[in-house]
Structure formats: C-alpha cells, structure tokens
Amino acid sequence: MPDELPLVLLSSAGAVIALMMAAWIVSVVIKDASIVDIIWGAGFVLVAWVAFFTGDGYDGRKWLITLLASAWGLRLSTYLYIRNHGKGEDYRYQAMRRHWGPRFPIISLFTVFGLQGVLMFVISMPLQVAQLSGMPDSLTWIDYLGAAVFVIGLAFEAVGDFQLARFKADPANAGKVMDRGLWRYTRHPNYFGDAVLWWGLFLIAAARPANLVVIFSPIIMTVLLTRVSGVPLLEKSLTKRREGYDDYIARTSGFIPRPPRRLRE
C-alpha cells in the first residue's frame, strides 16, 4: 500500500471520532439520539474529503469518488433531516431510552454513536483507499462502470424516497401500503439503491487491483440493509401497522426489483 495509507486512515478515524463525539453531545443536550441517522450520510462525506486532502492518488479518481460520495451523503442527510424534523426521537431510540433509563446517555455513546462510527469508518474504506495511489494514472473502464453502477443505485434511492414522501403527504393514503412506482417492483427501492451505489464506489476503488481487498465494504452494507437494521426492522413494524402489507409481501420482491407476482384468488 502507498506510504500515505497510515495518514489517511488515522485522519479519517479522527474525523469520525470527532463527528460522533460532537453528535453525541448534542443528542444528550436535546435528548434525541435520532440525530445519528441524519449525520450518517454526512459522515461519509467528511471521510471522503479528509481522504481527498490527505491522499496523494490520481486526481481524476479522487475527484470522481469524492464528488459521488458527497452527492449521496448530502442528499441522504438532507432528506432525513426534512423527514424527521419536528417529529421527536425515533421509536427505536425511545425504546432504548426507556430500557436504560438514566444510563441511556452514556450507553448511547457506545451502542449508538460509537457503533455507527465504527461502521462508518469500515464501510468508507473504498472512499479512503481510492485516493491513495497514482496508478492507474487515468480513469479506466472500471471507473466508468463503477460510476454508472453508482448512478443507478442513487437513482433508485432518491426516486424511491421521493415517491414515498409524496405518497405519505396525501392524507388519503394514511394507513395504506405504498405499492406504486418503484415500490411496485421492490418493497425497498431505497435500500436496494443504497446497496448498489456502494458496489459502484467499490468498483471505482478497485480500478487499482490491490484495492479489491476492501470488498468487505459493500458486502457489509448489503448485509446490514437486508439482514440487520434495514429491511427486517422496517418490515416487522409495517406488518403490524399497515393493513394489506402481508399481501404486498406475497406479490412484491423484498429487495431486487422484478415484476410483481400474480396472487391466486
């Protein structure tokens, strides 16, 4: 690995620690741990730019991956801020607060902000290592493929979020299942898009074959979205709160988009 690897890793880790500590302090003051969700995307933007200024790789690739990561992270954080503003703390953190009582602030430092900080640092590895080497010293077909995959993923995520927000804004849809637009083909177009775009960022980093080692990044993100904190938690809640959601599950793909199934009468 290039000589600047330790500097990039240490600088990125320091930036993540500082961000999460600051966010935790704010959460204690306002008594709302939900802000960790809002800063999730912005944290990757921070890491990308720290790596940009500390790495000494090929400028074209550095600009490409940093600008793409910034577009994703800033869009996500802005969307979540607008969606959550004025709605109070998310039910997941409320449940944790009730469970831990007065100890929740210190517990949340490690189980909420610390854990997400570690995940942020690990998952952001493509954003870090892509900025290290000057070789290849031009954008390759792998870079362009990665950018194309990223754009497809970002489109699924952004369009899915927009369609869902517009659906929820109509009072006539209260309590109904969103099964229109992209949501007709996958129950989670936003999560699918999130996973896909990280595979795109990984491909850009993999333009330098030595960086194939960071394939754990998109794998972790995909597993988190499909098996841990994304789809499972949301579907458990929606099945209880949305009439007809079981039928929606029966006819619609859970992740990868495909035409809906025809249910037997």
| Tens-place pLDDT, residues 104-140 | 999 999 999 999 999 999 999 999 999 998 889 999 9
Instruction: Decide which of 133, 160, 175 is a domain's last residue.
Output: 133
Question: Is the model's pLDDT at 1 over the cut of 80?
Answer: no
Mean pLDDT of 67-91: 95
pLDDT of residue 263: 67
Question: Is the model's pLDDT at 43 over the cut of 90?
Answer: yes
Question: Is the model's pLDDT at 3 over the cut of 80?
Answer: no
> Do both 163 and 125 map to the same domain?
no
> Do both 178 and 104 map to the same domain?
no
Residue numbers of the domain that contains 225: 139-265
CB 28 within 8 Å of CB 112 = no
Confidence of residue 264 (pLDDT cuts 50, 70, 90): low
Confidence of residue 265 (pLDDT cuts 50, 70, 90): low
Q: Structural domain tally of the chain? A: 2
> Do both 108 and 217 map to the same domain?
no
Confidence of residue 229 (pLDDT cuts 50, 70, 90): confident
> Do both 100 and 155 map to the same domain?
no
CB 116 within 8 Å of CB 40 = yes
> Do both 178 and 244 map to the same domain?
yes
> Do both 167 and 255 map to the same domain?
yes
Closest CA to 48 of 230, 225, 217: 217
Confidence of residue 99 (pLDDT cuts 50, 70, 90): very high
Question: Is the model's pLDDT at 50 over the cut of 70?
Answer: yes
> Do both 150 and 233 map to the same domain?
yes
Mean pLDDT of 47-60: 96
Closest CA to 257 of 158, 178, 153: 153
Question: Is the model's pLDDT at 55 over the cut of 90?
Answer: yes
> Do both 120 and 202 map to the same domain?
no
Tokens read off for 41:
């995307």
Alpha helix segments (H runs only) across the chain: 5-30, 35-54, 59-84, 91-100, 104-108, 115-123, 125-129, 141-169, 189-205, 216-223, 231-241, 245-251
> Do both 105 and 16 map to the same domain?
yes
> Do both 251 and 145 map to the same domain?
yes
Question: Is the model's pLDDT at 251 over the cut of 80?
Answer: yes
% of the chain residues with pLDDT over 70: 98
pLDDT of residue 182: 97
Instruction: Decide which of 85, 107, 133 is a domain's last residue.
Output: 133
Sign (positive or negative) of CA dihedral 152, 153, 157, 158: negative
- The residue ranking higher by pLDDT, 236 or 83, is 83
- DSSP annotation string for 25-83: HHHHHHT-TTHHHHHHHHHHHHHHHHHHHH--S-HHHHHHHHHHHHHHHHHHHHHHHHH
Confidence of residue 69 (pLDDT cuts 50, 70, 90): very high
pLDDT per residue over 165-198, tens digit each?
A: 999 999 999 888 999 999 999 999 999 999 999 9
pLDDT of residue 232: 79
Mean pLDDT of 219-229: 93
> Do both 124 and 149 map to the same domain?
no
Instruction: Decide which of 133, 150, 169 is a domain's last residue.
Output: 133
> Do both 183 and 93 map to the same domain?
no
